[in-house]
Structure 1
């Protein structure tokens, strides 16, 4: 709920909205198209982009999905922040198999608006906010 009033003039202003979800599970599938898949919680390799595997041990069928250092949700990082310029479409969402529910937010970005900020905060397995 938005409370309060404003008056006067400004050259530019911003507005934010947050969608909050309780009982967050680490296995919820999070998505920001072309930027974040399943929270990007993959093995990482500290190598420049594009990754060029050079070690013979890295060419194996059982190698886990491995990426360069990218924003990710993990035990160490509970927050991802991207802009709509980082995604193929200005969209973010998640799917919860346990709850049999999904959420998707696809804002209507007018050409006159600046790039929008997309954030996912996953806090201690009980709460998440998409803003």
Structure 2
């Protein structure tokens, strides 16, 4: 079965002010239990803020390092999941369900990409 990576993209500065509604944690926990029991969720995690990250860049035969935060970046990867699904449609269904447990006032994007198994 193919594997897919879902990348959760957020506006890190706006997300700092987001407050989850009272049922948010329960909805996420229930969905994660369901997707794990279905054998779809292989791994998931949130990522630390970009202020704690470092970018390593290769250009012209030279390496450079830039410590975060990366203020020039509007949208960052805030978390990820590795899913094993029968096809892309199933991966998109799970990604959609994940986004729908978030409060309506939040803006969250999920990029779903197949993992190249070649």
Report the TM range for the smaller structure's normalisation: under 0.3
Structure showing greater radius of gyration is 1
User: TM-score w.r.t. structure 1 length?
Assistant: 0.25
Bigger share in helix: 2
User: TM-score w.r.t. structure 2 length?
Assistant: 0.27
Query: Which has the bigger relative contact order, CA under 8 A and spacing at least 6?
Result: 2
